[in-house]
Amino acid sequence: MKLSAMRFCSSALVILLLSGCATVRTLDAAKPGAPIIYSGTRLDWYSLNGGCCPLDRFGAEAPRHAALDLPVSALLDTLLLPFALAAVLGIGLGVSGGF
């Protein structure tokens, strides 16, 4: 039973990595006026409901498998919510890093 659960989790992870995570895509978009709070979840929901131009609205393309990406994006957006709120409110957290 543990082996089948492990296979399912690894298969789901591979599918999500191949299609790209909406949250990561929108964080990297840096489009003026694009939503910041729950941006990946909103992008997935937008594409599931037949949104026409995600690149114009969110600054990122929607993942191919938005229905599979939606729960993961919701979880990641929830974890990043304090940073998103700080960005919307204009509070500098002094966080730096990256490449």
- What would the pLDDT profile of 9-56 be if each residue is shown by its tens digit? 777 766 656 556 888 888 777 778 888 899 989 999 999 998 888 888
Indicate the domain borders of the chain.
36-90
pTM of the model: 0.71
CA distance 66 to 1: 28
Contact 41, 69 (CB under 8 A): no
Q: pLDDT (tens digit, 9 = 90+) per residue, 54-95? A: 888 888 888 888 888 888 889 889 998 988 888 888 887 676
Counting beta carbons within 10 angstroms of the beta carbon of residue 61, is it exposed (0 to 12), middle (13 to 18) or buried (19 or more)?
A: middle
pLDDT of residue 69: 85
